[in-house]
Structures are given as structure tokens and as C-alpha cells.
Copies of this chain bind each other. A is one copy, B any other.
């Protein structure tokens, strides 16, 4: 998917919501436990209920890998069902990969050509030749970890270095030379709202994938205040607060309501920033 297509979808749906498909087998509604593939049934029900309110889905591969090869089959089936039924939605494989060149090429082939996702999250620690192989496939995106929303992000990402920058700033500045803003995005944790100002000085135009809004306590207002661009430039991810809005048989309806609430808040910001027209 091109950057322009993504922006059009954001304007069409008046939303920059990304929904994390992180199905924890222990948290699935009891009513699904008898299904042949409870996780796949859960994903389909959540997607049907929320697709009108979001522009992207982000399955975190850990939740599927932890179920073994059958879990990976569920992941593949979820992605192919999404592509078939909701072709306009942007699909992010949250895999946080990072490996040397020939191995990274295997991952790129796996995610982009076998699993047919639009984007893969990649970790920067191993440097340019662990990222470049993901950038050779037009219409497919690398979403590089820059500043994460977890407590441990302070251990290394915030270290000041001899270049007078924090590590995550050096990651942004160096990596933006590896590809353009039509093939790279960055993960920036929402719990660090004000840091978005510094980040926008380095990458004014790149899309940011912002986790940590909702369950992890980040504020959507802060993210918009400090991170939005004339093209929106944001994908805000929410997982648990939407997909586990209810654990009863009304789980899908509750997820739809939670997604619609976020979409409406996002629409008001998009109007306020004149990215979409004022409501009649």
C-alpha cells in the first residue's frame, strides 16, 4: 500500500486507529472455546465489528507463535481473510525482527510475499544491513522501533551518546537515510507524549505507529498535539482496551463500541486540524 492510499483511507474513515490483534488464549470469551479455531473466530468477529472505525490491523506474532505451528497457521489465515474481505486495511505484522542480511531477506520474503502483509516492525540494534532487505519491496513498509512505551525503554533508548543525542534520536537520524517516508515508519510510544516534539524535528513527514494509548496509559490528545502532520502522519494502536472490552458473549459488539468511540475522538481531531472537512 502506498503512503497516498493510506492517507486517503484515513480521510475516508475519519480515523487513524490501528487495532492490535493480540488474542491471548486465556482471555478469549468462553462462547468461542468450542470453535474449531477459537483464535481465528475471535479475530474475524473483532474485525467485522471494528473495520468501519479503523484503517489498520496489527497482529502481534508472539501471540500466534506461542501456540506453535498451528498458531502461525491461524496468523496466516487471519491475514489472508483480512486481505480478501477488507483489502483497504493496512496490515502490520508486529514481529520486531532484526537479523543479518541473508536472514533478514528470508524474513522479508516470508512476511511480504508469503504472508502478504503490508508492513513489518523491525528492531534497529543490528543496524543498516538488518533493515535494508525489508526496503527492497515497493508498497511494503518497515516500521522501525525508535522509542518504545515500556519501562525498559529507558535502559538503552534514552542513553545520551557522544553525538549529543539520545540513542533513539540517532536511530531516527541514521535510519531515515536508509529509505524514504513512503516505505518507512517508526514506532514511538505514546507514554512519552512530549518527546514527539523532538522526534518531529528529526522526521517531520514520516508516519508514526503509536502504541500505548489506552491500556498502557498514553493520552491521545498529547499524541495529536505533538505528533500530527498535515497528512495526519499517525497510526495510533490500541489492543486490549478494544479487543477485551468485554469477555462475555457481547465481546464483538463491545469492541465495536470501543473502536467507534476512539474513531469519533480521532475524527474531531482530524476536523480541528482541517485534515478532513468540518461536519455539516
Verify B109–A130 contact, CB threshold 8 A: no
Verify A114–B150 contact, CB threshold 8 A: no
Chain B CB count within 10 A is highest, among A22, A98, A156, for A156
Q: 1/0 per residue A106-146: CB within 8 Å of B?
A: 11011000110000000111111111000000000000010
Other-chain contact of A126, B68, B76, B145, B160 (Cβ < 8 Å)? B145
Verify A66–B98 contact, CB threshold 8 A: no
Is A174 part of the contact surface with B, judged by Cβ < 8 Å? yes
Q: Which residues of B contact A70 (CB under 8 A)?
A: 69
Is A171 part of the contact surface with B, judged by Cβ < 8 Å? yes
Verify A101–B150 contact, CB threshold 8 A: yes
* A162 and B163 contact, Cβ closer than 8 Å, known pairs A68-B72, A98-B123, A129-B152: no
Q: 1/0 per residue A23-48: CB within 8 Å of B?
A: 01000000000000000000000000
* A109 and B160 contact, Cβ closer than 8 Å, known pairs A130-B152, A145-B125, A150-B126: no
* A150 and B170 contact, Cβ closer than 8 Å, known pairs A98-B123, A125-B123, A125-B156: no
Q: Which residues of B contact A145 (CB under 8 A)?
A: 125-126
Other-chain contact of A66, B75, B109, B148 (Cβ < 8 Å)? B109
Other-chain contact of A96, B60, B97, B115, B157 (Cβ < 8 Å)? B97
**Nearest-neighbor residue (CB-CB) of A63 within chain B:** B106
Other-chain contact of A151, B109, B128, B149 (Cβ < 8 Å)? B128
Q: 1/0 per residue A151-173: CB within 8 Å of B?
A: 11111110111110001001100
Verify A171–B156 contact, CB threshold 8 A: yes
Is A203 part of the contact surface with B, judged by Cβ < 8 Å? no
Q: Which residues of B contact A100 (CB under 8 A)?
A: 148-150, 152
A37 CB to nearest B CB, Å: 12
Verify A62–B107 contact, CB threshold 8 A: yes
Q: Which residues of B contact A106 (CB under 8 A)?
A: 24, 62-63, 65-66
Q: Which residues of B contact A60 (CB under 8 A)?
A: 99, 103
* A159 and B156 contact, Cβ closer than 8 Å, known pairs A62-B99, A65-B110: no
Is A73 part of the contact surface with B, judged by Cβ < 8 Å? yes
Q: Which residues of B contact A155 (CB under 8 A)?
A: 124, 127-128, 174
A195 CB to nearest B CB, Å: 16
Enumerate the 8 nearest inter-chain pairs by beta-carbon distance, A residue then B residue, closest first: A127-B152, A127-B155, A66-B110, A66-B106, A160-B162, A69-B73, A69-B72, A100-B150
16 example contacts (A-B, Cβ-Cβ < 8 A) are as follows A22-B103, A62-B99, A66-B109, A68-B72, A69-B69, A96-B98, A100-B152, A123-B126, A127-B157, A128-B151, A128-B152, A129-B151, A130-B152, A156-B167, A156-B174, A160-B161
